[in-house]
Structure 1
Amino acid sequence: MVASALPTECTPQVKHPSGAAIIAAIKAAGVGEIVALPDIVTSDGLLWPISRDPELRLTRICKEDEGVSICGAMSYNSTRAILMMQQTGLMDSLNAIRAIGVDYELPVVMMVGLQGKEPHIHPDQSASYGVRIIRPVLDAMELSHSLIEWPGDEAHIPQAIEAAYATSRPHIFLIGRAPEAS
């Protein structure tokens, strides 16, 4: 008989943000375009519902940095878009984000799933090096970012998107827990 690694009564119970609330907040901010690569953190609660939503157009891409370019280009005709990916893709795209979002001052908005993050601790304390370094890297690049981890965190999404477009600067939403599918 194999015992489980952590007894059920010891497993931390955490609440997850609502995928439906995140999608509603995206729509409230006037976003109609979603550019995405599959991400294990956001697929069930966000990507699959978005793919079936007739109010949102989903464009699937092969590389994250091309998504940065696509979202930046859409801003030229006042089309609001969000790029969805995981943190490994964010790290791969930093030069494109620097050039397109910062140097060219285009409002590239991203939702980034923190793959490998433990659901019961803050990203800065994660045992995963790839998760733990994300916020310090974004801070060093002076990139606006916020964490979506708890129910209710979705409420700030429209304001952050509005600010990104008003200032013509990038904003990164870090998704710390898989959103619950509706």
Structure 2
Amino acid sequence: MRTSGARSHNHGGIAYTMFFTGPEIASALAELGVTHVIWIPDSALGPWESTLEGTPAFRLVRICREGEAWPLAAGLYLGGASPVVIMQVTGLFESGDALRNALFDLRLPLFGIIGARNWLARDADDSARRFTLPVIRAWGIPHVLIAAEADKPKLAEHYRRCRRSAQPGLALIGEGGP
């Protein structure tokens, strides 16, 4: 399924649909005052990397495992920075214990941009797609879903709302495959 205004790219012979280009996401993050992007790319988000790396407004910090993202973001936040975590939803699942500790035990208002795997592929038999919203709702994390071109402003709106209320938040970016 290709949504109007969305862009596709191929990786390993698979077409992925994304709503933000690298320059668009980098510009949005810079305008929001993000200082660090904690990053572990997936096949759909990967094309953003060179733009994120070359954006002087923030520092791109690559991690090896998703569970490293939330403690790193927590330390940066406690040190006065404004980090954002970017990963795919399967990585969010993998990092759940670290996320729980940072967001709920330490009560830190961290923000993540999460690639919602196969969200745009309505017929995909993908357990990650099936569990995305139930898991995020069970954690009680305020979130928005960007699943159409018209939803793009939700990213900045939700980020600002979370900052104003000092609460954590997630922006789920619909991804699509065959």
TM-score by length of 2: 0.81
**Partner of 1:113 in structure 2?**
115
1:156-175 correspondence to structure 2 within 5 Å: 156-175=154-173
How far is 1:143 from its partner?
0.8
Q: Which runs of 5+ in 2 are unaligned?
A: 7-18
1:13-52 correspondence to structure 2 within 5 Å: 13-15=2-4, 16=6, 17-19=19-21, 20-44=23-47, 46-52=48-54
Moved more, 21-30 or 98-107: 21-30
1:152 to 150, 154, 166: 150
Please tell me the root mean square deviation across aligned C-alpha atoms, in Å. Answer: 2.0
CA distances 1:86-116 after superposition (whole Å, capped 9, x unpaired): 111100111111111122111221111123x
In the alignment, is the contact (CA less than 8 A) between 1:105 and 1:168 conserved in 2? no
TM-score by length of 1: 0.79
Q: Percent same amino acid among aligned pairs? A: 23
Aligned residues: 162
How far is 1:126 from its partner?
4.8
Higher strand share: 2
Question: Which structure's relative contact order is higher, taking Cα pairs within 8 Å and 6+ residues apart?
Answer: 1
Larger radius of gyration: 1
In the alignment, is the contact (CA less than 8 A) between 1:25 and 1:155 conserved in 2? no
How far is 1:56 from its partner?
2.3
In the alignment, is the contact (CA less than 8 A) between 1:102 and 1:169 conserved in 2? no
**Partner of 2:98 in structure 1?**
96
Partner Cα separation in structure 2 for residue 168 and residue 126 of structure 1? 36
Partner Cα separation in structure 2 for residue 23 and residue 105 of structure 1? 27
